[in-house]
Amino acid sequence: MAQPTSLARPPAPLVGDTRERLLDAAEQLFGENGFDGTSMRALARAAGTGLSAANYHFGSKEALLTAVMLRRINPVNELRIQRLETLEAQAGNQPLRVEDIVDAYLRPVFEIRAASLQRDASSPWLAARVYSDPSDAVSKLKRELFVRVHARFLPALQRALPQHAVRDLEIAQQLTTGLLVHVLSGNVSEGELGSAQDYEAILRRLIAYATAGLTHLPVVPADGAEEQP
């Protein structure tokens, strides 16, 4: 009880280390090879530890995926919503500009990605890979993580584009996510782009493309009959 704290807790210091190395390895390998394409053994080896350590810390492969996803996606989503709220505070009662909404949605991913990349910087962003991963373990997780943000951004889009049906805006929003996923999966710019700092180049094109797509939705009659002459 009267032990000095410097001696009272020797186990703690080197505990969290391998746990985080496992998360790092999982982020990289799941991102590169997918969930089914990554074995727990390869993952433990990349983290410089044994197979059992991984199962000790996370209990299962699926739980490890959940952990690494949460670690990376939650900050992105919080930053997105924070940006949106800042915009709304500045705008008062006026609708936001579509481009600003798109920016608040897309930019945080690139910023956090750039901040958390000591590595190759060319490896795919895990969350994007997960978004199109068909594995059962993955599809459940996906919606829980992203539905909340979509629900938060949709009203902002509605106010900015009041002439369109909610359903159309929802689809356009999902298409925008498709653009993001495609870029972050590494399917765009096999050329000179892709280095760490100048994500601005691809991001500007991405924002421009998405903004145009959202502001030029096909105008359909407000009622159900879409094909009537």
**Torsion angle of C-alpha atoms 182, 184, 188, 192, degrees rounded to 10:** 180
Q: Which of 125, 82, 89, 126 is nearest to 104 (CA)?
A: 82
14 binds, among a copy of itself, DNA, none (CB under 5 to 8 A by kind): DNA
**CB burial readout 68-89, b (16+ within 10 A) else e:** bbebbbeebbebbbebbeebbe
Which of residues 10, 11, 218, 229 is near DNA by CB under 7 A?
11
The interface mask with a copy of itself, positions 53-92, x = CB under 8 A, is: ----------------------------------------
What sign for the dihedral angle of Cα 209, 212, 218, 223?
A: positive
* Burial of residue 159 (number of CB atoms within 10 Å: 0-12, 13-18, 19+): middle
Which of residues 32, 40, 87, 158 is near a copy of itself by CB under 8 A?
32
Size of the site for a copy of itself (CB under 8 A): 47
The answer to whether 8 contacts DNA (rule: CB under 7 A) is no
Q: Which two tokens stand for residue 115?
A: 């901040």
The answer to whether 59 contacts DNA (rule: CB under 7 A) is yes
Residue for token digits 């879409």? 226
Which of residues 50, 155, 178, 221 is near DNA by CB under 7 A?
50
The interface mask with a copy of itself, positions 163-202, x = CB under 8 A, is: ----xx-xxx-xx-xxx-xxx-x-xxx-x---------xx
Q: What is the amino acid identity at position 138?
A: V
Binding region for DNA (CB under 7 A) out of 38-46, 162-170, 171-179, 211-219: 38-46
Question: Whole-angstrom Cα distance, residue 164 to residue 185?
Answer: 31
Question: Whole-angstrom Cα distance, residue 224 to residue 204?
Answer: 36
Q: From the CB of 211, what's the least distance to a copy of itself, in Å?
A: 7
Contact call for residues 29 and 46 (beta carbons, < 8 A) = yes
Which of residues 34, 42, 97, 159 is near DNA by CB under 7 A?
42
Residues 112-141 that bind a copy of itself (CB under 8 A): 124, 129, 131-135
The answer to whether 24 contacts a copy of itself (rule: CB under 8 A) is no
Q: From the CB of 29, what's the least distance to a copy of itself, in Å?
A: 10
Residues that bind DNA (CB under 7 A): 11-12, 14-15, 17-19, 38-42, 44, 49-53, 55-57, 59-62
